[in-house]
Amino acid sequence: MRLLATVAITLLGLLFVTFMIGRVMPIDPVLAVIGERATQQQYDETFIALGLDKPLIVQFGIYVRDVLHGDFGTSIRTGQSVAEDIRRVFPATLELATLGTLIGVVLGVPLGVVAAVRKGTWIDQLARLVGLIGYSIPVFWLGLVGLLVFYGILGWVAGPGRLGIFYQGLVEPITGLLLVDSLLRGNITVFKDAFSHIILPASILAYYSMAYISRMTRSFMLEQLSSEYVTTARVKGLSEWKVVWHHAFRNIRVQLITVIALAYANLLEGSVLTEIIFAWPGIGSYITTSLLANDMNSVLGGTIVIGAIFVGLNIFSDLLYRFLDPRSK
């Protein structure tokens, strides 16, 4: 019950913040809808139709009601429902962030464990260097260098975009995830092209995810390896493999769940620059383009969706935390 109350308050706070942003922005919502050449009568009619003549608290109530019904308004830029636009662009971000997180976890967790076990060695120094670079280098610079080297010079991967122009429309969408849909449809050619387009931006995101995950894994493992039960296990003659993976690592699984969930949420909401550099048609690119076009309905709608996903992932990690560690209940 307490969890539900916390979620409700958090989402209500998110809606309030986005509502106030829409009201304080120096953009007239009426002119954004009808244009600057509209007559005063058209302006007044639209002003009333949008409910802007009502008290602020009433406007907020209407806003909450519409959002709960999945109505984020109409996009000025596309002329379509913002909800439809988000349904169209979000699978691209989901696919990119998911692959980036998977790569980050597969590489980051073992790197963090090995760095902790071999503390002070060259492997540990390498892991710390990887993490330092990941926290220091701007993502847009790494993306541009990646395009120059792996696409422009070596030609190992495809260029910007999600799919080559010759393959667009060949696969009927099922899930909206191109890699999954192409496999489900049995079109290996489209799958290879889609993979060639996604692997570089996903690897860029995976690097930053790996830097965070490896650093936290190393920190958690160092704490466990210095515990008395680990010393006792070694004294008993257990192999280093069992001590590390069956004892120490098992005790950091719960903490890692939260770290991975946060890393995933950060990629979902923070892949804006990567999507712009690689012309990736995801929600980050959609929000940025809408912001430049003063399309606040689209900006606020996308912000609400990302915020809700962030809250949802935190709730999921909390529930999984309680399931794996009954002591936290």
Residue 243 has which token pair? 């001590």
CA dihedral 82, 86, 87, 89 (to 10 degrees): 140
DSSP 153: I
60 and 118 in a common domain: no
Band (313; pLDDT cuts 50, 70, 90): confident
pLDDT at 294 over 90: no
125 and 51 in a common domain: no
CATH of the domain at 226: 1.10.3720.10
23 and 152 in a common domain: no
176 lies in some domain: no
CA dihedral 241, 246, 248, 251 (to 10 degrees): 160
HSE-CB of 57 using CA atoms within 13 angstroms: 0
287 and 142 in a common domain: yes
31 lies in some domain: yes
Q: What does the pLDDT read at residue 329?
A: 53
177 lies in some domain: no
Instruction: Identify the residue whose tokens are 């691209």.
Output: 92
58 and 118 in a common domain: no
**In the beta sheet, which residues pair with residue 81?**
74
152 and 44 in a common domain: no
Residue 59 has which token pair? 């406007």
236 lies in some domain: yes
Between CA 241 and CA 18 the distance in angstroms is: 50
State pLDDT tens for residues 159-217: 888 888 888 888 888 888 889 999 998 899 999 999 999 999 999 999 989 999 999 99
80 lies in some domain: no
The total number of structural domains that make up the chain: 2
175 lies in some domain: no
191 lies in some domain: no
146 and 235 in a common domain: yes
101 and 37 in a common domain: no
Domain span at 64 = 2-68
Instruction: Identify the residue whose tokens are 């009601």.
Output: 65
- With CA atoms as reference, report the closest residue to 124 among 135, 138, 113: 113
- With CA atoms as reference, report the closest residue to 83 among 238, 294, 308, 293: 308
